[in-house]
Amino acid sequence: MPRRCLFCSIGPVTGEHVIAQSLSKRLWEVSPFTPEHGAPVEPKPGATRFHTNRIIDMVVNVACDDCNSRFFNALQRPCDPFLRTALAGEASALDTDLKKALASWLYKTALLVPLALSPRAGWPQHIIDECQAFYIRRRPPVGARVWIGRYDLRDNFPELVGRADVSELNYRRQGRDFIGNQILVSLGYFLGIVVLWNGVPPDDVNIVNRTDDRLVEIWPAMVGHIAWPPEHTFTYEELTSLSNMVPASS
């Protein structure tokens, strides 16, 4: 019997690109490894990745055709103009509605990343449950956190043109234990961090304070417009440390 969609629970699953092919094509266009930017350079000493393929072909069988073509496209569509400029490191505006839309798209992407990086038998049950809850809610849950920032692709190329990392969070606050995941996604000059929790989240995740406010919090979405991009750009070393970052216990 075909496996059912993790989101709508109706249709049979098909292959879904975690990063849409349209964004993968945009990444190919803006990454320095293009004719107008000359030949690829040698990786820096100590670099662990040397990306020459800018097409991100991460596919996971979790959603049906209808969710792929309608639900996921509806999440990404309002974000596309911003993402096209952000992947290129270009300036734009970011208002409250766009923060909500971008947080929802990033949250959906974050749900798919750990599923794509592990065999089906090892999929965390709380993420499977959250896929269906997200389909109904259409927004990240209360307690989730989403930040975005800018990666210094030009100075760090070719390391981390595209990257996805999953870290487990074990957080103790006021005598209570909290368990969750931190998912980091970098696409060209753009990076996003999503923290989701298995069960009730802590009141204060306290991650943004550990990055000296170099990330912009977009969920919970705060009222007001901001100019993009932020002044700070993350280096290869900083981004690698972010992928291993866990919140301070208190």
Residue 34 has a pLDDT of: 53
Q: Which phi and psi (to 5°) does residue 202 adopt?
A: -70, 160
Residue 162 has a pLDDT of: 81
Residue 36 has a pLDDT of: 44
Residue 10 has a pLDDT of: 93
Residue with tokens 């030949």: 39
Query: In degrees, to the nearest 5, what angle opens at C-alpha 33 toward C-alphas 156 and 114?
Result: 65
Q: Which two tokens stand for residue 182?
A: 């931190």
| DSSP at 79 | G
Please identify every stretch of the chain with a pLDDT value under 70, giving residue numbers as ranges. Answer: 1-2, 33-56, 158, 206-213, 244-250
Residue 2 has a pLDDT of: 63
Domain ranges, ordered by start, for the chain = 14-243
Residue 29 has a pLDDT of: 81
Question: How far is 151 from 167, CA to CA, in rounded Å?
Answer: 19
Residue 35 has a pLDDT of: 45
Question: How far is 83 from 76, CA to CA, in rounded Å?
Answer: 9
Question: How far is 207 from 147, CA to CA, in rounded Å?
Answer: 10
| DSSP at 80 | H
